[in-house]
Structure 1
Amino acid sequence: MDSTITPLDWWIIGAYCAGLLLMAWWLARRQESREDYYVAGRNVGPWPVGLSIMATQCSTNSILGAPAFVAFTAGGGLLWLQYELAVPLAMVVLILFVMPLFRHLQLVSVYAYLERRFDLSTRLILSGLFLFVRAFATAVTVYSIALVIDLITGLGFTASVLLLGAFTVLYDVMGGIRGVIYSDVLQLLILAVMLAVVLLFLMDASGGFGAMWQAFSAERKQTLDFTHHGFGDGQTFAFWPMLLGGLFLYVSYYGCDQSQVQRQLSTRDIDATNNALLINGLLRFPLVLLYCLVGVGIGVYALQHPQFIDALPDNGGGPQYNLAVPLYMIQVLPAGLLGLSLVALFAAAMSSLDSVLNSLSATTMEDFVRRFHRGSWTPRKELVLSRLITALWGVVTLVMAFYVGDIAPTVLEAINKIGSLANGPILAVFALGILTHRVSGPHAIAGLLLGIAGNGACWLLLPDISWLWWNVMGFVVTVGVALLLSLLPATQAAMPHPLDVYEHVIGNYLREESRCNWYRRSAWLVVWFVGLLVLLFFMQG
């Protein structure tokens, strides 16, 4: 597959990597403390943060997997767009009820809130769960992307890991969260432009957008599925599990996951944080629609050129459809544009890895190193230690990538399921802290464990239930168990931090209408949700 990669393409890739390192070095000159390193001194504007959040979500697995799902996967098609309907609704919840509190508390690690509300054990368990899941998932991501790079370039697996990982770790160590944010913005712009270029080439090959759309399979054009419910009918991607399950998943991911919340805590004030969430809520759908339309074009191209599928590598179970987009790039794009398209693939990978490494470092530093260190460090020493921890996590995830080969193919197919095992229960722990008086740390942890166990039982014993419902079911089980335990006389405990703090923060926030305009943001997002629903209805005919 690497026969058409020219020296010009390699020069473009090299220039891009060198440019990232130069930018990270420049940004590193402004760092003086761990807060500069982890939350950028809390003075980043809403646009860079909003675009950075979008870039992290648009990973290589997404821009390769989503077109393959739309074009080739059995039962797939444009139904994937239903998933995006939950994003604007999740942003409303975060804007009104979650981020005002976290910003008021001046957090660096989101799990520090759990110690203030519950106890140290709750903080450490949730933080440790994040470290384990994210480190493992990052290693699997590095493994899968390195396979793609190897198949495209012929560099070999080890060199592919180093090409992707070494540059990402190096600019992450130097640039900190500010480097992560601004590199993500650059990477998102490159990715969007190159996806648009690929779509234009696909449209031209089909005779225009209208011809391409008409040639696409009618059954794969379905964008809404109201006829199934996902509760035992074997239909994973029906409307209700994708909307409601997606809502709980996105509130958990954007509001309780350190890799996302950390950037939202880097803005200059709560107004900028919520504007960043508004930007993500409005612009994410057009980006996802873009790479789904690339999937439409790839499907039509494969139909018109049967030899295209034969050129895909075979993994023993059939063609590797996830490589359809890079194979098309190599076969069709001219020198220079091919280099930029490969840069776009690298950019998608790097934007996923850099934020995770920085958040793993922040969680380790805040929840474990500083929490248990006796005495004090100078700001400069904390900065150096923060960089060392980032480098350590980078090395750990790159080394782990060499040892997940036997399980990675299965995990890659189930990576969203793994997240859904815990997303609902984790969200429930935070919701219990914010909305209840009686629930204590042990109650919440017992609910968390039973919620995850219940979802695991569904995975093993009830495979016909859509895994998207696990996000809702795990939340309900965790809340129910914790509330029941809190009613037992022997387990009642006074809440360390009264709800008055939360009510005071939210009350003040909602009263400051002239400054925050919370109602306008919420209204825009709700209108956008309705507009997207109408758009999907007309797309399917």
Structure 2
Amino acid sequence: MSLIDWIVLCCTLIIIVGYGVFKSRGNKNIDGYLLGSKSLPWYHIGFSVMATQASAITFLSAPGLAYTSGMSFAQFYFGVPLAMIVLSITFVPIFHRMRVFTAYEYLEKRFDVKTRAFTAFLFLLQRGLSTGITIYAPSVILSSILQVNATYTTLLIGCIVIFYTVYGGTKAVSYTQLLQMGIIFIGLFLAGVMVVHLLPKDIGLVKALHIAGKSGRANAIDFSFDWNNQYTLWSGLIGGFFLQLSYFGTDQSQVGRYLTGSSIRDSRLGLLMNGLVKVPLQFLILMIGILVFAYYQYNQPPLFFNKVELKKIEQSPYQTELTKIKEDYASIFDEKQAQIDRLSAALDNDDKQTVNDVRQRLSAANEKTSTIRKELTDLMEKNDPKADTNDNNYIFLNFVTEKLPKGLIGLLIAIVFLASMGSTASALNSLASTTVVDIYKRFINDNGSDIKYLNVSRIMTFFWGVFSIIIALYASKLGNLLEAVNILGSLFYGTILGIFVVAFYLKYVQGTATFVAAILTEALVILCWKFDLMAFLWLNLVGCVFVVIIALMIQYIRNILGRPSELPNR
């Protein structure tokens, strides 16, 4: 990066962190530290909710996902608006009326302490692991730019987030996220404009999207009903609905965001704002990936987008084999470019026959490209068995650093940092609140002073920060980070949601039945994933439905056997 980019990056980070620390000064108890004294307006909540979900993984992996496989991932978010409506009607007023710190406190009041503890454990396990992935994502950026080991950049980013989260708590998180989302919207808009500007003069936005579409990259909606297809309209609406309902309704990293609202109305408006903005925002991010794809139809893309791994093989004993692969790759690109020119002319003349012919030829050329890349990755693994052969997360990063003008590079890299900081800070805050309220305060010290709980909250924030950094150091082997974090969530969210559905709507079912049902269902979900029985989004539906069904069955059997009624521990 240039000096200007470094100045833009550093100034942006300093201003954001400094503002958050300044606005969060004066915390004296855990109500202020964990819930911001429940004083934030609706727009604050809306931006905070979006920033918590839109991690750096979104801005690194989503454009790369669109580049390699098209717009189909947008369907993943189709369930968000429906989930926001349901949450606003049901979850929000219940949590506000009960004045809870965490979502899991409600479960003890409704069921018993073991159900509360098990659900909190599932959350801590899932969120602790996924937070490590969100820390790793931006560390890839510095690692690639500075040409240093990702271990050092992971430690740097993790320590920055730990600093202001430990100091300022949820207020520091919310105030930084408010500025972060504003900068993110501006940066993404500028990135989209610049990609279009870099296209050939006779190729505008509409034509670029047409070319990408004829190359199989504009497949935004798939109406087929296939259990094994990751992204379809139905998996997004149904499986995605259950995933988003569980994430926003039972994951403390999100519940903690809207519990900071000054009223039920503010919390509801914040969630509805997220529901209205999230899908268009994701379309914009994916469209940037599509436009990058269109750009590389006229400009030869790198053979491998991860410069560090490519450099290793260039300096290895396999240089002769690599040279042959590069020659074949360039030859196929020349062939593809000729077909793209034919496609452009055919689109201008509405020549459908030529368009169909070009599509077939491009498909064949893409298969040849895939074969060549497979030869390259095999060579990489032969040279280094631990080589990272998935460069999906580097596609957008490579384009930004190589093709965009000075200043904008620093801003876009700052966006990835800000997104990571926002989601990671929310996660650490939620992990600390769940550990303190649901574990420490409930089982270890239930008569501590406000200062004692505040200090323990800071210690737990620090602990989970260190834990997440350790996980981040092993995240490079997970492939596409955006898919990895969503798969991880789907392993647990369905079960957690099922527990809350039983709690809210099936008053007939008691704690023991729900507890046993949750354990059995979680084992079933893991088995379904382990043996690849269905696409991961459907695991959310399976988890929720089976908790409900099994809990009803167990409760019915217990009633027949004459088991005594259970009273929740308060």
Category of TM-score, reference length = shorter chain: 0.7 to 0.9
SS at match of 1:437: coil
Paired amino acid for 1:431: V
Kindly indicate whether the alpha-carbon contact (under 8 Å) linking 1:115 and 1:123 is maintained by their aligned counterparts in 2.
Answer: yes
- Equivalent of 1:290 in 276, 284, 295: 284
- Equivalent of 1:421 in 481, 491, 504: 491
- Distance in 2 (CA, whole Å) between partners of 1:319 and 1:128 is 32
Change (3 A) 1:252 1:492: farther
Kindly indicate whether the alpha-carbon contact (under 8 Å) linking 2:88 and 2:271 is maintained by their aligned counterparts in 1.
Answer: yes
Q: Does 1:48 align with 2:48?
A: no
Change (3 A) 1:214 1:358: same
Q: 1:53 deviation in Å?
A: 0.8
TM-score by length of 2: 0.81
SS at match of 2:134: helix
Kindly indicate whether the alpha-carbon contact (under 8 Å) linking 1:236 and 1:466 is maintained by their aligned counterparts in 2.
Answer: yes
For 2:245, the equivalent position in structure 1 comes to 251
Q: 1:35 deviation in Å?
A: 0.4
Q: 1:8 deviation in Å?
A: 2.4
- Distance in 1 (CA, whole Å) between partners of 2:562 and 2:96 is 31
Q: 1:412 deviation in Å?
A: 6.8
1:367-390, Cα deviation, whole Å (9 max, x unpaired): 111112446333233222222221
Q: Does 1:179 align with 2:182?
A: no
Q: Does 1:357 align with 2:428?
A: yes
- Distance in 2 (CA, whole Å) between partners of 1:490 and 1:208 is 72
The range that moved more, 431-440 or 248-257, is: 431-440
The range that moved more, 275-284 or 441-450, is: 441-450
- Distance in 2 (CA, whole Å) between partners of 1:252 and 1:416 is 12
Q: Does 1:392 align with 2:463?
A: yes
Change (3 A) 1:461 1:394: closer
> Alignment length, in residue pairs?
486
For 1:65, the equivalent position in structure 2 comes to 61
For 2:27, the equivalent position in structure 1 comes to 31
Change (3 A) 1:374 1:364: closer
Kindly indicate whether the alpha-carbon contact (under 8 Å) linking 2:61 and 2:482 is maintained by their aligned counterparts in 1.
Answer: no
- Distance in 2 (CA, whole Å) between partners of 1:8 and 1:253 is 39
Q: 1:430 deviation in Å?
A: 0.7
For 2:155, the equivalent position in structure 1 comes to 162
- Equivalent of 1:439 in 480, 495, 509: 509
Paired amino acid for 1:176: G
Q: Does 1:237 align with 2:234?
A: no
SS at match of 2:468: helix
- Equivalent of 2:135 in 132, 142, 154: 142
For 2:221, the equivalent position in structure 1 comes to 224
Kindly indicate whether the alpha-carbon contact (under 8 Å) linking 2:21 and 2:168 is maintained by their aligned counterparts in 1.
Answer: yes
Kindly indicate whether the alpha-carbon contact (under 8 Å) linking 2:38 and 2:261 is maintained by their aligned counterparts in 1.
Answer: yes
SS at match of 1:217: helix
Matches within 5 A, 1:103-502: 103-206=96-199, 207-218=203-214, 219-226=216-223, 228-231=224-227, 234-310=228-304, 312-313=306-307, 316=377, 320-374=391-445, 376-402=447-473, 404=474, 407-409=477-479, 414-463=484-533, 465-488=534-557, 489-490=560-561, 492-494=563-565, 496=567
For 1:517, the equivalent position in structure 2 comes to none
- Distance in 1 (CA, whole Å) between partners of 2:188 and 2:481 is 27
- Distance in 2 (CA, whole Å) between partners of 1:351 and 1:199 is 23
Larger Rg: 2
Structure 2, unaligned runs of 5 or more:
311-376, 379-388
Q: 1:19 deviation in Å?
A: 2.1
1:12-71, Cα deviation, whole Å (9 max, x unpaired): 222233223322332232322100010100110010111111112111211222212212
Change (3 A) 1:490 1:393: same
Paired amino acid for 1:288: Q
Change (3 A) 1:44 1:354: same
Paired amino acid for 1:352: S
Kindly indicate whether the alpha-carbon contact (under 8 Å) linking 2:261 and 2:267 is maintained by their aligned counterparts in 1.
Answer: yes
1:498-537, Cα deviation, whole Å (9 max, x unpaired): 9xxxxxxxxxxxxxxxxxxxxxxxxxxxxxxxxxxxxxxx
Paired amino acid for 1:380: I
- Distance in 1 (CA, whole Å) between partners of 2:72 and 2:3 is 40
Change (3 A) 1:105 1:290: same
The range that moved more, 12-21 or 389-398, is: 12-21
SS at match of 2:99: coil
Paired amino acid for 2:254: Q
SS at match of 1:467: coil
- Distance in 2 (CA, whole Å) between partners of 1:248 and 1:295 is 27
Paired amino acid for 1:222: N
SS at match of 1:222: coil
Kindly indicate whether the alpha-carbon contact (under 8 Å) linking 1:60 and 1:348 is maintained by their aligned counterparts in 2.
Answer: yes
- Distance in 2 (CA, whole Å) between partners of 1:66 and 1:308 is 19
Change (3 A) 1:375 1:110: closer
Kindly indicate whether the alpha-carbon contact (under 8 Å) linking 2:130 and 2:488 is maintained by their aligned counterparts in 1.
Answer: no
Paired amino acid for 1:440: Q
Change (3 A) 1:406 1:296: closer
Change (3 A) 1:125 1:164: same
Q: Does 1:84 align with 2:77?
A: yes
- Distance in 1 (CA, whole Å) between partners of 2:294 and 2:62 is 15
The range that moved more, 451-460 or 92-101, is: 451-460
Q: 1:216 deviation in Å?
A: 1.1
1:406-431, Cα deviation, whole Å (9 max, x unpaired): 75448875432221122111111011
TM-score by length of 1: 0.85
Kindly indicate whether the alpha-carbon contact (under 8 Å) linking 1:87 and 1:281 is maintained by their aligned counterparts in 2.
Answer: yes
Q: 1:405 deviation in Å?
A: 5.2
Q: 1:462 deviation in Å?
A: 4.4
SS at match of 2:297: helix
Q: 1:493 deviation in Å?
A: 4.7
Q: 1:330 deviation in Å?
A: 0.9
Change (3 A) 1:79 1:311: closer
Q: 1:301 deviation in Å?
A: 1.1
SS at match of 1:194: helix
Kindly indicate whether the alpha-carbon contact (under 8 Å) linking 1:302 and 1:308 is maintained by their aligned counterparts in 2.
Answer: no
- Distance in 2 (CA, whole Å) between partners of 1:261 and 1:491 is 37
